[in-house]
Amino acid sequence: MIELHHIHKNHGATVAVADVSLAVKRGESVALLGHSGSGKTTLLRLVAGLDLPDSGTVCVEGRIGMVFQSLALWPHAMVQEQIELVLHGPRWSGAAKTARVAEMLDVFGLDSWACRKPGTLSGGEQQRVALARAVASDPEILLLDEPLAHLDGGSRQELRERLLPILKGRAVLIATHDEEDARVLAQRCLRMREGRIV
């Protein structure tokens, strides 16, 4: 569902991604491990179409849901509205939309925060909202950039367990520096360094 062929991307004089080829199948979760600046986020942005490669090809088959490292929540929208705003089209009309919002609030433990805005939430609570929004429309592909970075130990473990059944049946690409997150959430782990998969 995701195929990258000899991708190169520079940011000015800095090589962000260098000759990366990668395939992710339906039902497969792949973690990109590496320190800040290793190229993980750039690779996710290339798959999402937010950046274009300088050379190489990106092939994607399916709708994409993405969690950004910055979370990128809409500051003036309440938690339930964050989820509602990604549910459009005939599949998500009327009762189906209402039911899906309720399901996402329940799955991610957000029921008591449904009418709060992001600025009133902790970093971990905002992380849950970003994850709920990314999966709400039932995308075939999930791109997760440091999806658990804002959570402490107990909450992190709980959310890993909530995520595992959601990842099944999708093509998932996770960028993380946390080896435990990678070990639990992914079937395959690739280490990146200086823009390359090493």
Residues 120-130 have pLDDT tens digits of 998 888 999 99
Mean local confidence (pLDDT), 190-194: 95
Phi, psi of 29 (to 5 degrees): -110, 125
Residue 150 scores a pLDDT above 80: no
Mean local confidence (pLDDT), 190-197: 96
- Structural contact between residues 47 and 56, judged by C-beta atoms closer than 8 angstroms: no
Predicted pLDDT of residue 52: 96
CB-based contacts of 88: which residues, under 8 Å, 6+ apart?
none
Q: pLDDT by residue (tens digit) across 6-37?
A: 999 999 889 999 999 999 999 999 999 999 89
The model's confidence at residue 170, banded by pLDDT at 50, 70 and 90, is very high
**Torsion angle, CA of 96/71/13/189, rounded to 10 degrees?**
-80
Per the structure block, which two tokens stand in for 24? 């992710």
Measure CA 112 to chain center: 24
Mean local confidence (pLDDT), 139-156: 88
Helical H segments across 33-191, by residue range: 40-48, 79-84, 95-107, 123-136, 153-167, 179-185
Predicted pLDDT of residue 158: 87
- d(C-alpha 65, C-alpha 71), whole Å: 12
Run of H or E residues at 176: strand 171-176
The SS3 assignment for 48 reads helix
Q: pLDDT by residue (tens digit) across 38-76?
A: 999 999 999 999 999 999 999 999 999 999 888 889 999
- Structural contact between residues 97 and 87, judged by C-beta atoms closer than 8 angstroms: yes
Q: What is the pTM of this model?
A: 0.92
